[in-house]
């Protein structure tokens, strides 16, 4: 990394940048999965989108709700609700100068839990698999938030 970043080119910050980018890319992938399902199952949210597929059906009937599409969308929404807090708190946490090993543990547990969460959600695996992966990710973020608050506290 170039001169600009001398102060934040610690290994912790490099690790944060890597894990944050990977988990954000995973979240962005959900958009493409949704599009794939919409196109292959011919299920759309907007009338104008129905022209994207060839069909003999009445196009108005393609603007509908489909359980598989809704499942992927809920998974995407859950990503937004959890990955955004991880990125914000993980960035601040990285700036508090934690041990590299502690930081890696937090990042790996969080990112791993979100990949497992996606698999359990999209494949509709039996609970509590999804609940646990959600909870583990939440705890990783909260543990980092605890360190941020105890280190920087200034109200």
Site residues (CB under 8 A) for a copy of itself?
Answer: 1-8, 10-15, 17-22, 24-25, 27-28, 30-31, 45-49, 51-52, 71, 74, 76, 80-82, 84-85, 87-89, 92, 94-97, 124-128, 130-131, 134, 138, 141-142, 145, 148-149, 151-155
104-107 LR contacts (CB < 8 Å, sep 24+): 104/15, 106/140, 106/143, 106/144, 107/15, 107/16, 107/19
Nearer to a copy of itself by Cβ, of 24 and 136: the residue is 24
Shortest Cβ distance from residue 44 to a copy of itself (Å)?
10
Size (the chain), residues:
155
Shortest Cβ distance from residue 131 to a copy of itself (Å)?
7
Contacts of 52 (CB under 8 A, 6+ apart): 39, 44
Nearer to a copy of itself by Cβ, of 57 and 84: the residue is 84
């Amino acid at each position: 990394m170039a001169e600009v970043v001398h102060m934040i080119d610690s290994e912790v910050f490099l690790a944060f940048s890597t894990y944050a980018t990977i988990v954000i890319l995973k979240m962005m992938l959900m958009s493409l999965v949704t599009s794939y399902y919409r196109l292959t199952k011919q299920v759309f949210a907007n009338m104008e989108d129905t022209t994207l597929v060839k069909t003999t059906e009445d196009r108005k009937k393609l603007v509908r709700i489909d359980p598989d599409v809704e499942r992927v969308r809920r998974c995407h929404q859950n990503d937004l609700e959890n990955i955004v807090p991880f990125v914000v708190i993980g960035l601040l946490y990285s700036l508090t100068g934690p041990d590299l090993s502690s930081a890696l543990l937090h990042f790996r547990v969080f990112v791993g839990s979100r990949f497992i969460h996606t698999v359990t959600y999209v494949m509709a695996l039996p609970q509590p698999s999804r609940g646990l992966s959600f909870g583990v990710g939440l705890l990783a973020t909260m543990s980092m938030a605890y360190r941020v608050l105890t280190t920087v506290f200034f109200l």
